[in-house]
Structure 1
Amino acid sequence: MPYVLLAVGATSLLLAANARRPPRRGALVVPGFFFGWLTVELAPHLLVAEVAGLAWTAADGGLDGRDVWIGWVGLALGLAGVAGTAATIAASRKTVVTLKDSGVPLELDPQNAPRYPRSHLVLPPLCLIPRRGVRVDRNIVFRQEGRLRLKLDVYRPKEDGRLRPGLMQIHGGAWVIGDKREQGLPLLNHMALQGWVGFNVNYRLSPRATWPEHLLDLKHFLRWYREHAEEYGADPDFLCVTGGSAGGHLAALVALTANVPEFQPGFEDVDTSVQGAVPFYGVYDLVEPGPLPIPFGKLGLMQKHVVKRPFDKDREPYAKASPVTYLRRDAPPFLVIHGSHDSLIPVQEARRFVERLRDASDAPVLYAEMRGGQHAFDVFPSYRTARVVEGVERYLTGLHRQYAEGGPPSVPDEVDESVG
């Protein structure tokens, strides 16, 4: 049993260390991300399991016998791991401060400001079930050409009313996996309860799809939205876009390539602009190296499965797939969100994008860097996810209010727009 206690303690310490300093390169990047993701966002659950595991193994003979010193070493390692997990929880508790410092209007209508249900934080799988008061229309076909059938799910209030603002959600998955049923659910449920209509949109995936077919599919959704939004209670003239990872990359592209004829062939006259964008932990520049020693476009995934062109011989498609290529003065307002401990897309990617977008755009660009946050932190409910979801809702509601009042988008004068 002392060796069991040693194993429990060492595992606890390794998880805490990985959460704080995840691997950035090599074969451990993906497993480091996976375990860090679970450790960070389920830290309270992990803390309970760690304490229970240490207490049980210690009481069941872990500190007895000839190798008692092994047990004491394990207990010491375990207690250090518990301290690390507690520090992870403390870091996530700074989420509200981060959002406020970023300029997100958390005090907008504070007496009516919604709160995310605590039950979802205790039992994260509850986010898969539509919340009370939310109606979900599933598998609506928005593009059909031959054998191609692309579908979306609609999240909206059960009660009918005036036309409501719309939100487009784009799932991630490295452009090769993912589905509308898996991502954006905490946000879309919450937004629907606050009077929004959310559209969780699928698009063709690589390797069957080749860039820019992913973006073309999403442009077809914008076309569909203009024609059918009112059928689902949404305002066809107001739509914001969000998404994470590959979805964050595509959300930024959707926002910055409004009305670019190349990406809407056959419906060039359709207005494909959006009124706001909230990309989560996205890739924004595939051509210039930055957070990684090589450009994102030079990764095997991009060359072999997504763009399917040799980077060194033909960089043009990679430039066209980079949101930074389309920075412009009339870009819509942005709220960029990224985790400081993201091991798949390092946080420096978001920082440099925000700097360049602020230099180019006349609209406000807010940046919220989640201290201790991993990649994909918002996929299931956690304390951090709950606070970010509430903040995104306040931010987008503020944009819609300004739109309804006929004024330009703005943020409070006291917002500090420095990156960091």
Structure 2
Amino acid sequence: MSSVPIGYLIPSLLLAWCTYYVVAPRNWPRMFNSLGFYFGVINELPFLALFWLFGETWLAFSQGDVSSLVGWLAFGLTILAVAGLLVIIHWGLQAAPVVNRGLDDNLGQRWRDSIDAKIARRLHNRFTFTALLGPFFVRRHDVKRIANIQYGDAGVHHLLDIYRHKSLPTNRPVLIHFHGGAMVSGSKNRQALPLLYRLASQGWVCVSANYRLSPAATFPDQLIDAKKVIAWIREYGKQYGANPDSIFVAGSSSGAQLAALAALTSNDPKLQPGFENVDTSVSAAINLYGDYDWLDTNGTWTDSGRDRTGFLASIMKSSPAEDREAWEQASPLTRIRKDAPPFFVIHGDRDTSLPVQDAHHFAQKLRSISQSPVVYAELPGAEHNLDLFHSIRNEAVMDGIDAFAAWVCTNNKHNSDRS
């Protein structure tokens, strides 16, 4: 038996399995869910997988290696993987209509008339060539990254990066992004890089910040750090071209939880030790596949929050019975307020790490109380970590964020209230 068909079989088997993991019903044991990042990464890179399979198949046929049993088995797996990848691509193409519908349903009639026509036109694109780039060419030649700026006294955990256009524009809106990692891991230069570079290329000042992590840190240390970044922008942002009166907070996974809490606890002196009098209000919050439902607004456990009790205790360093108030403060649902800024909540309907029902419930509760718009987009076929690469879905999400932010900058009363 030739070794070449084996070389064809192994990648075909691996890609077929990863594709099956993405498209199969969501009833995996917890062990497989924890490996979802590795198996599910193909969900945002279907074209890369297709190119690989086509190349391997062409090579196998051109060398006559499909005549063996192993070769035909590999070819059969390839056909199944391609079918699954076409399903994944179909799901990705549904992202733009879903994002459009979320914006149209919540920003009012003719909202597009108030934003730049070019940004509005991009919303109609279900597919752009950039989606083919995947993990490549994330950086942009017209963007300068200023790395490892100190914003506090906690060493590496109090560092931030600034992304800005090389032409050095001034008085530009700011996006602050907080990374995920369940507040126990992660760093500022791994998630949402396509979004940071894209907005910076358009003239925004983008900030990606580290924050203290458990087990060394105990909540609300992470939230205090998030608010400290906002305070730092208010004090020093103009030196980097920022408009301190137009600050957006964003985050991925647990970073989205921090962004939501920061937006919902503006100017709370108990969460701003040493900078109690600094204005930490923001113009809007953008939440990507976030963690929200620890406790409900009536103080009772949600189903998913109850499932994560043991894990959450490692961050809180207490049980709910020992420190109920601290646990309630860590749940975005319990911090919802009428004067909350606009929110854009984005989540995948196949997220195995944080259930989509939690995001939907949070958006509904927020919409029922807040006087500001709450845009919700539930993306078909999307898993966790949907913002890591260029993809059909992520391009549509970034188009939506771009349009939402443009609308907020033009219409948001939170900006005018501070001016």
Please give the TM-score of this superposition, normalised by the length of structure 2: 0.86
Q: How does 1:188-337 map to 2 (within 5 A)?
A: 188-287=196-295, 290=302, 292=304, 294-296=306-308, 298-300=309-311, 302-304=312-314, 306-337=315-346
Change beyond 3 A, Cα 1:293–1:194: closer
1:109 is aligned to 116
Give, in whole Å, the separation in 2 of the partners of 1:352 and 1:390.
24
Change (3 A) 1:161 1:71: closer
Counterpart for residue 363 of structure 1: 372
What is the aligned partner in structure 2 of residue 126 from structure 1? Answer: 137
Q: Work out the CA distance in 2 between the residues paired with 1:51 and 1:198.
A: 38
Give the distance between the partners of 2:156 and 2:49, measured in 1 at CA.
43
Amino acid at match of 2:78: G
Instruction: Give the aligned residue type for 1:103.
Output: L
Distance 1:33 1:119 in 2: 22
Alpha-carbon distance, 1:121 to partner: 3.7
Task: State the shift of 1:169 in Å.
Answer: 0.9
Q: Partners of 2:192 and 2:324 in 1: how far apart?
A: 32
Q: What is the distance in 1 between the residues matched to 2:8 and 2:193?
A: 38
The match for 1:411 is: none
C-alpha separation in 1, matches of 2:362 and 2:169: 39
**Unpaired segments ≥5 residues, structure 1:** 409-420
Residue identity matched to 1:362: Q
The answer on whether the counterparts of 2:157 and 2:212 sit within 8 Å (CA) in structure 1 is: no
Any conservation in 1 of the 2:351–2:382 contact (CA below 8 Å)?
yes
Q: How big is the shift at 1:313? A: 4.2
Say whether residues 1:31 and 2:35 are aligned partners.
Answer: yes
Equivalents in 1 of 2:61, 2:320: separation in Å? 56
Contact 1:23 1:29 in 2 (8 A): no
Structure 2 equivalent of residue 52 of structure 1:
55
Structure 2: distance between partners of 1:114 and 1:214: 38
Q: 1:391 aligns with which of 400, 405, 411?
A: 400
Aligned to 2:107: none
CA contact 1:23–1:32 (8 Å) conserved in 2 = no
The structure 2 residue matched to 1:64, chosen from 67, 70, 74, is 67
The aligned residue for residue 415 of structure 1 is none
Q: Percent identity?
A: 35
The correspondence for 1:159, drawn from 167, 171, 189, is 167
Contact conserved, 2:213 with 2:222, CA < 8 A, in 1? yes
Instruction: State the Cα distance separating 1:333 from its structure 2 match.
Output: 0.3
SS, match of residue 246 in structure 2? strand
Count of paired positions: 398
Contact 1:336 1:366 survives alignment (8 Å)? yes
Question: C-alpha distance in 1, partners of 2:399/2:407?
Answer: 12
Please tell me the residue identity of whatever aligns with 1:299. G
Matched, 1:348 2:357: yes
Given residue 93 of structure 1, which amino acid in structure 2 is its aligned partner?
Answer: L
Q: Secondary structure at the match of 1:299?
A: helix
Q: Deviations over 1:225-259 (max 9, x none)?
A: 22112111111122111010011110100111111
Name the CA distance, whole Å, in 2 between partners of 1:195 and 1:316: 42
Cα distance 1:334–1:188, how it changes in 2: closer, same or farther (>3 A)? same
Matched AA of 2:116? D
Q: Is the 8 A contact 1:166 1:235 kept in 2?
A: yes
Structure 1 CA distance for aligned equivalents of residues 289 and 156 of structure 2: 29
- 8 Å contact kept, 1:291–1:348: no
Letter in 1 for 2:241: G
The CA deviation at 1:218 is: 1.3
The 1:111–1:303 alpha-carbon spacing in structure 2 relative to 1, beyond 3 Å, is closer
Greater helix fraction, Structure 1 or Structure 2: 2
Deviations 1:279-324 (A, max 9, x none): 101111213555638343x033x222x1111245443322111111
- Cα distance in 1, alignment partners of residues 254 and 380 from structure 2: 21
Distance 2:128 2:48 in 1: 17
User: In 1, Cα distance between the equivalents of 2:14 and 2:62?
Assistant: 18
